[in-house]
Every structure is written in structure tokens, then in C-alpha cells.
Structure 1
Amino acid sequence: MSYILTTNNLTKVFHGKEVISQVNMNVKKGEIYGFLGPNGAGKTTIMKMMTNLIKPTSGEIEIFGEKLTDTSYEVLKRMGTIIEYPIFYEKLTAGENLDLHCEYMGYHDKKAIQHALDLVGLKDINDKPVKDFSLGMKQRLGIARAIITKPDLLILDEPINGLDPIGIKELRDLFKMLCKEYGITILISSHILGEIEQMADTIGVISNGKLIEEVSMENINGQHTEYIEIAVDNIKKAVFILENNLGIANFKVIEDGFIRIYDSSITQLDISKAFILNDVSVESISKKTSSLEDYFLKLINGGAIHA
């Protein structure tokens, strides 16, 4: 197995508190690795250590087969990054900002500037200073800056913040294209689980500074199960009917008046009929398939799903 980035017992202590605890990540060459976790779980801290913005307290990071050190300049040249909110020279245009970036990166292909802007959908902005950009436009420019030197590894911290649904889809397609056609490995964090589900090959889930799961999306998809989700006005009575009238034990009550029924032998019609005959109002009923969100919430909540 060829790994482009690994961490070995990566640990960070701030003010006497261990915020990252012995994290072992393995990012394969040529894949999109989705990095998931609640706010404050440690995703950004780990990405900052991977890009030499902060130093680990203990443990090691290996990128392109080399241990990351204070003098890993050539390693960093092969990476593109967005960590937290991208910062620019606000009075300059997008092209001028990218030109400066290429200068200090030692990258002198001037045609790459317009190509990068085209890839992220920034057009007709030649004379517009960055200070007049929307949040979404700045996010796009940050991605353009991260990819302009055609890096081998992209590390992207919440890169689709501030984008509308159309923009999110455009960048999702862009990341998949960069991975497939350009061979760029991408480590991406996001709180939009549905987006990660549609692009990631592997996910790592972090909670309270600890990596609690690293698994391929193929394995997660193999665990997907169908269920019937029903919303009712009286949960207690509905549970009684499921257990005593229909003989169903394989179900889960979740918040906001929903019940998920995992018994494949029962139909939506049978359930609705039993509830209606027993004066339980059915507000909605549908067949669904468990998702990455369900899997994530189970991990974070220790096995309990909360809607």
C-alpha cells in the first residue's frame, strides 16, 4: 500500500491540555480522504501540524516518504493548502494575488494563473480587487491558489464554506477531477457530510482529539441498510403497536417523533394501516437507506443515533 501522508502517534498539548492524542492517519496516494469531526475535535490543529504551521508535542508526520521537519521546504513546495480562512492582499486583484504566490513558490508558468481561475469558476474579475469579493469568491480564490502549482497533495480545511449549492457541486466535481485526471491526493475536512460521501474514498473520524475510525467508503457503503422511517404524533403508543400488534422488535426511536424500522418483512402499508386503526396519526412514512451521516453520528454518539 502506497501512502503519501502518515502520522505516527501525533500528539499536541496546549497549556497543559492534550488536545490531539496519538493520532495515526494513513492517506493513500491518489485518493480523496475525508476528515470528519465535530467543531473543536482537532481537525484544523492536525492540518496545521501537517503544514508546519504548528509543531507537534510528540509523534511524527511523514509526507512523500520523508519525515516532516523544520527544514522540509521541498516537501512543502509539493503541497497546496487552505487552512481556516484564506487571507489575501485585499487591494490586489485575484490574478495579482496568484502571481505573487507563484513568485514566492518559485513557480513561473504565467498561463497557470488564468487556468486556475477558470477551474474554480472565477471569470470576468480581472480588475476587481479582492476586498470586493464575496465570501464564496474568496473561497474559490483560495482553492485556485492551492492548486495553481499543480501540487501532489492538497490539504483543504473546510474549503466549501460560504458557497451556495451550485458552487458546492462545482467544487466537488473539481476535486474529483483533480484527483482522477491530475493524480492529486486530497485531504479534505468538511462538516457537510453529504458532500464527503459523494467524493471521498476513505474517511477518518476524529472526536475529542482522538482518531476513532479510519475506514474506506466502500466498507461503509457495504454496511448500508434499508429501513422505513415514520413520523407519528404518539411515540409511546406507536412503539406499543409495533411490539404487540405487529410483533416487530428491530426498530429504533430517534428524536423529534421519528421511528426507524429495520424489519424488511413488514411493508409501509402494513405499518400505516396498524397505526391508523389504533388512532396513531402518521405524519410521514418513507423507505430510506442509511448514510455516511448515520455512520458518523453512531461513531460520535457512541452508537446512539440522534436526529
Structure 2
Amino acid sequence: MEYVLQTNGLTKKYRHFKALNQLTMNVPKGAIYGFVGKNGAGKTTLIRLICGLQFPTSGGYTLYGRKDTDKDISRSRRRMGAVVETPSIYLDMTAQDNLKYQYRILGLPSYAGMEDILKLVGLADTGDKRAGNFSLGMRQRLGIAIALVGSPDFLVLDEPVNGLDPQGIIEIRELILKLNRERQITFLISSHILDELSRMATHYGFIDRGQMVKEVSAADLEKSCRKCIHLEVTDTGALARVLDGMDAEYTILSDREADVYAKIGVSRLTLALAEENCDVISLRERDESLESYYVSLIGGQKND
């Protein structure tokens, strides 16, 4: 498998605090890689390192096969675009002028492709409207447009849907999927909105306290996320006794609800519960969500 980014024992230390601790990760070419972790887990530190904004304390990384210590690592970084924390846009300038400024920063000989970029992100008709008057979603799309200047094939996005309304979230999601599908752009996306990330990601990296806990493809994650039967009954105490007798794994959620992680015949279960004077109110199958998988993997409090 070909990788756009690989880290090897990457460590970043601030005095006595290790923001990254021997981090090893692998971002496949063409992937939408969801980088998942609590606030302070080290996600933004990793992004700053690979963008060249900071330098590792030890360990290293390769970007398109070039080590971070190579003299020509800047050539690999030219294939990157990034929106770190908040979009770097000038609020008193139009969308077009913001892009023109980025063209000049990169030393590009002309503004070729600028209109295509604006059209791609849905900002072609903003005219003389200043970015300061854009919605949050429009500003985020402008940030991505600026990151697309120079035709990168690797985009790094730090919390791209944070603070957006539902329509803005949908627009960013559709843009990411479109860029990945039509332009084969690889994405590294740091996000704590796990439900939204699960709609896009092809691969995941779960980080905690600066260390990689687990890397997994979306396909393998789907296999490992256990299906369960969600039951609503009149007495979960009776349900627990019946399930214990069947040697079935389960989780009691309340005095009326429980999840059962076993294949059990509905008729058999209903009859056994009836003998305990317990009625089944509702029953449905559901999959473990990315959020519950993350909480069980990392432990502790889940992110807000």
C-alpha cells in the first residue's frame, strides 16, 4: 500500500509535557483519514509538525516518501494544503482577492484555475461581498479554497465542521467527498464530531495522550463494531436473570432498556421473560456507533 504520510516514533515535548509520545501512524494514498482523540490528545500538534510550523523533539515522519529531515521536504509540502484551527482568510477582502493573495504567496505565475476553485467550493457568485460578511460555512469553504491553490493532492483539515450549522456541515462533507472522489485528494481530518466523521472516513487513527491507540480501516471497523439487540422491557432485572441463564452478554441501560450482544431467538426470549412476568415492549437491531466504539477504546469521558 502506498502512503502519503507516515510517522515513526514521532515525539513533541514542551518542557515536561509530551504532546506526542512515540506516535506512529500511516495515512494511505486516496484515503479520508479520520484523526480522532480528546481535546489535548495531540491532534493539532501532529498537524503543526507535518505542516512545518513546529519541529519534532525526536522521531520523524515521511511525506510522499521524503523524510522530514531531507533538505527538499518543502517539495513534498507543496503538495499539501491545510486549514489549521481556523481558516486563514482576510475578512476585509473578497473571496477572489483572498485567493489571488494566496497565488502571490506561492509565487504562481498566473491566476489560472482560480475561478474553477471558487466554483468548486460554491463561492463563484459572491462577487464583491467581503469575507467578513460570509457565514461560518462560507468562510470554511473559502479556507478550503485557499488550501486548494497550487493543486495539492493532500489536504489537512483541523476540525472542519466545528461550529457550523447543519446545512454548513452538509456542504463541507459533500465538498470533501467530491474532492476525494473526483480529484483523488487524500484527506487527514481531525474532528471530535464522530457521527459526521463516520459519514466520510475510509480510515481512522485513534490517539490518546499523544500515543496512537489504534489504526483501522472503516471496513474493518464496521466488522468489529458489534451488532446488538436493543430491548425495552417492563423489568430489566428479570431480563438480566433470563440472559444470565442463557449465558448471553448484555448491558443494562436503565430499568426498562438493555442491549444484548448475542443471537437469541425472539420467541425463546419472549417465552422465558413471560415466565418471569416481564413483557417485551419493543425490540430492534442496531450497530455500535463510532462514538461508542471510541469511548470503549479510549475510556473516560467522551468529547463534547
User: Is TM more than 0.5 here?
Assistant: yes
- Residue 77 of structure 1 deviates from its aligned partner by 1.7
Equivalent residues of 1:34, 1:203 under 8 A apart: yes
Q: How does 1:151-190 map to 2 (within 5 A)?
A: 151-190=152-191
Residue 136 of structure 2 is matched in structure 1 by: 135
What residue identity is the alignment partner of 1:263?
A: A
Residue 44 of structure 1 is matched in structure 2 by: 44
Equivalent residues of 1:139, 1:162 under 8 A apart: no
Instruction: Flag structure 2 segments of 5+ consecutive residues without an equivalent.
Output: none
Equivalent residues of 1:206, 1:213 under 8 A apart: yes
Q: For residues 226-258 of structure 1, give each alpha carbon's deviation from its aligned partner in whole angstroms, at most 9, with x where no partner exists.
A: 2111345754454235435xx352212347964
- Residue 79 of structure 1 deviates from its aligned partner by 0.7
- Residue 22 of structure 1 deviates from its aligned partner by 0.2
Residue 104 of structure 1 is matched in structure 2 by: 105
- Residue 183 of structure 1 deviates from its aligned partner by 2.2
Q: How does 1:276-291 map to 2 (within 5 A)?
A: 278=277, 282=281, 285-291=283-289
Distance 2:255 2:35 in 1: 28
Distance 1:137 1:15 in 2: 39
Identity of aligned pairs, percent?
A: 39
* Backbone CA RMSD of aligned residues: 2.9
Q: How does 1:125-274 map to 2 (within 5 A)?
A: 125-231=126-232, 235-243=236-244, 247=246, 249-254=248-253, 258-267=257-266, 270-271=269-270, 274=273
Distance 1:151 1:298 in 2: 36
Equivalent residues of 1:227, 1:289 under 8 A apart: yes
- Residue 120 of structure 1 deviates from its aligned partner by 1.9
Instruction: Flag structure 1 segments of 5+ consecutive residues without an equivalent.
Output: none
Compute the TM-score of the two structures, normalised by the length of structure 2: 0.87
Distance 1:272 1:125 in 2: 65
- Over 3 Å counting, the alpha-carbon distance change for 1:115 and 1:295 in structure 2 is same
Distance 2:298 2:254 in 1: 16
Q: For residues 5-43 of structure 1, give each alpha carbon's deviation from its aligned partner in whole angstroms, at most 9, with x where no partner exists.
A: 111100011121112100011111222211111122111
Paired positions, count = 301
Equivalent residues of 1:117, 1:144 under 8 A apart: yes
- Residue 58 of structure 1 deviates from its aligned partner by 0.8
What residue identity is the alignment partner of 1:161?
A: N
Residue 22 of structure 2 is matched in structure 1 by: 22
Residue from 292, 299, 303 that aligns with 2:297? 299
Q: For residues 211-234 of structure 1, give each alpha carbon's deviation from its aligned partner in whole angstroms, at most 9, with x where no partner exists.
A: 000111121122243211134575
SS, match of residue 187 in structure 1: strand
Q: How does 1:71-82 map to 2 (within 5 A)?
A: 72-82=73-83
